């Protein structure tokens, strides 16, 4: 997530690349929605910051087959798009989230 001011167009690729890296790190083994990822990212800095590259980063990772997305319903029936890392092999028993 970018915390600096609005970047110039030429910086977009570098910023998006860093955002992709951050998002991928934060996902860990969990399945998280966009707002949930944002909350985890904003736990560290106090400033909520600029969210403009969050979804481009998520969708770019998905298009690159790094993560996968699916729609899930919460307890209230509201549906959220959640992301999780793609795995070549399934996780061992006992570590399923």
Residue number, 28 or 64, with CB nearest to another protein: 64
| Residues 26, 43 contacting (CB under 8 angstroms) | no
Contact 21, 58 (CB under 8 A): no
- Shortest approach of another protein to residue 63 CB, angstroms? 4
Cα four-point dihedral sign 90, 22, 43, 7: negative
Q: Which two tokens stand for residue 55?
A: 């979804």
Give, as ranges, the residues between 23 and 62 that touch another protein (CB under 8 A).
33-35, 48-53, 55-57, 59-60, 62
Within 10 A of 83 (CB to CB), how many other CB atoms are there? 23
Q: Indicate which single residue of 18, 68, 80, 84 sits in contact with another protein (rule: CB under 8 A).
A: 80
Our finding on whether 18 is near another protein (CB under 8 A) is no
Query: Which residues sit at the interface with another protein, rule CB under 8 A?
Result: 6, 12, 16, 33-35, 48-53, 55-57, 59-60, 62-65, 70-71, 78-81
């Amino acid at each position: 997530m970018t915390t600096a001011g609005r970047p110039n167009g030429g910086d977009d690729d570098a910023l998006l690349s860093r955002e992709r890296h951050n998002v991928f790190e934060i996902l860990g083994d969990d399945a998280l929605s966009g707002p949930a990822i944002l909350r985890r990212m904003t736990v560290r800095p106090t400033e909520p910051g600029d969210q403009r590259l969050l979804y481009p980063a998520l969708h770019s990772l998905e298009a690159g087959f790094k993560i996968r997305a699916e729609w899930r319903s919460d307890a209230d029936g509201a549906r959220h798009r959640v992301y999780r890392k793609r795995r070549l092999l399934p996780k061992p028993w006992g570590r399923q989230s």
